[in-house]
A = this chain, B = another copy of it.
């Protein structure tokens, strides 16, 4: 590090003071930042617990992500394993329990860089799909970490279409065992996390065969590595699937099975069982499985989808308040790039979306809590709505947030492209959320299928779930707005979103009907409508998000200016959506060209309004510098010093 020795800047980079360009942004906040943080957390007690957890985790050097951007895949994997083990100790030491108030903040504070997450999925599937005996046998072992679990569902050849899985489990009556095989290369398990190098056990999904008859896909507990020396068990071939766009810390793996025998008791048999004589019995309802998959999609939204967008906004907006480039007016000093309309137009709609999605996430959680209660009372009526909601919102939010993170990255120019900005890794990670837990297009089509059914029911005057009752309210007509201020009236824009969602759905449903009546086979007709069905499903989710944002704002008291700024963000989110999807609203003349000009004017005006509070609005997300891990996004705004300091740590500079 001879470089620093000769540098007069070495002393100058004390990162104590806040950059005046950032400090000035905070002096003019129109609302209480702490108040908004508390609102986002759901109360002051939650904020206190969250900060306490974050502090404990960040104070512990084992959880440091300081060198993350310089590490190889292997170094990141080893660090993740170390963190996973240490985290167990830490939780014990701190008295944090899985059902305690701290739990939801722990993984967020560790920022995802921890191994053995699939161990919990392994445990959850046994808890849900296993009999009481199976739960009694496996859960204590797993809880005490006497094994490391994984979850082997996806195969090389099959992801979304689970019925097509090719791994086989043949029941051998003579030995009372299942014989598991990977009959061809496409049947190889591929992608399961923690399986490439770590797991000792896994839940394998395989086609069950008894006496030559196939009973479909079932889950089996299979040991894959020795509990003594961690070597692969007989008949098992497993390894790492190689480098990915991100998730270097996870050993996503492959698994091949050759005549692997497991006892009959290893088929998870709460809902179906193979009896000793080979009789296959199905019992109870499998609908609850369906619900488990559904809840996972909703539970990932907060940490994996919305939080990354909040972080990206924080980094890009703070940077844009510090970065000065070119002159807005000749003779003046160079302007903050956040003062350029084009920069505002990139970043502020993302900020509004982050808030919109935070609130719609709360709405989804309420919907699911209510649904869960009903299900416990053996009422499964809400399942289709819950499934459609979780599918549609997972798809819409992951797609929107991924695009938003990319916009933030590019809005920071060259410095955004440096890993040290933190933005590239946010992007390469969040983009996976468009694919995992259901590919987005497939999910939107599931939502669309639900909507088409509900639309038919509503049109026939039959009752439909609460979130789609609006489908019965088809009103032709035109938007009544007369000037640009009218478009700051939520009634006006909520109505426009509703109208457009209904129009897209009804016209596509009509097309589908026409095709079928003209003799096209049902499945083929469906395929020919899918591009438009996807549009309709998105429009539905967009409508619900806008409506929910409006309702959230209405319920706020205007304490410390929070309601006012939230109203601005809500307006911006809504008008940005109309501006960006203008064709959908203009199509049938519900919005006229002249009205679209009013919307554009109001939308651009709002950018200037929200720009004044942009920094306080990201400060309210309350991310620590360590959690952002960004040379551009730190609270003090000392971007250039930090970029320079961090670059020194690069291994390429250690070899000079």
Contacts and interface: CB of A to CB of B under 8 A. Distances in A.
Interface of A: 3, 6-9, 12-13, 69-70, 72-74, 77, 154, 156-161, 164, 185-186, 188, 190-191, 196-197, 232, 237-245, 251, 254, 256, 258, 324-330, 334, 339-343, 345-346, 406, 409-410, 413-414, 416-420, 424, 428, 431-432, 434-436, 439-441, 445, 521, 523-524, 527-532, 534, 581-589, 593, 596, 600, 604, 640-641, 643-644, 646-653, 655-656
A650 B523 CA distance: 42
Contacts of A527: 328, 339-341
Given A329-B523, A527-B328, A530-B342, A239 B3 contact: yes
A435 B12 CA distance: 30
Given A254-B647, A582-B582, A414 B159 contact: yes
A396 to B, nearest CB: 15
Nearest to A241: B647
Contacts of A154: 414
B413 A435 contact: yes
Contacts of A583: 581-586, 596
Given A588-B593, A644-B156, A524 B417 contact: no
10 contacts: A70-B242, A73-B650, A164-B334, A185-B644, A190-B643, A191-B414, A409-B431, A414-B436, A588-B593, A589-B593
A37 to B, nearest CB: 31
Nearest to A77: B652
A582 B532 CA distance: 14
A66 to B, nearest CB: 13
B413 A240 contact: no
Given A74-B652, A74-B655, A239-B652, 12 more contacts: A6-B258, A69-B243, A160-B413, A196-B653, A241-B650, A244-B417, A339-B527, A342-B534, A413-B435, A416-B435, A583-B586, A586-B593
Contact of A523 (B245, B330, B655): B330
Given A644-B188, A652-B196, A6 B328 contact: no
B185 A9 contact: yes
Given A70-B243, A196-B652, A593-B589, A341 B531 contact: yes
A650 B13 contact: no
B414 A245 contact: no
A343 B237 CA distance: 34
Contacts of A3: 232, 237-239
A156 B640 contact: yes
A232 B6 CA distance: 11
B240 A652 contact: yes
Contacts of A330: 523
Contacts of A342: 441, 445, 530-531, 534
Most chain B CB within 10 A, of A12, A154, A328, is at A328
A630 to B, nearest CB: 13
A643 B156 contact: yes
Contacts of A418: 241-245
A243 B72 contact: no
A64 to B, nearest CB: 17
A440 B410 CA distance: 10
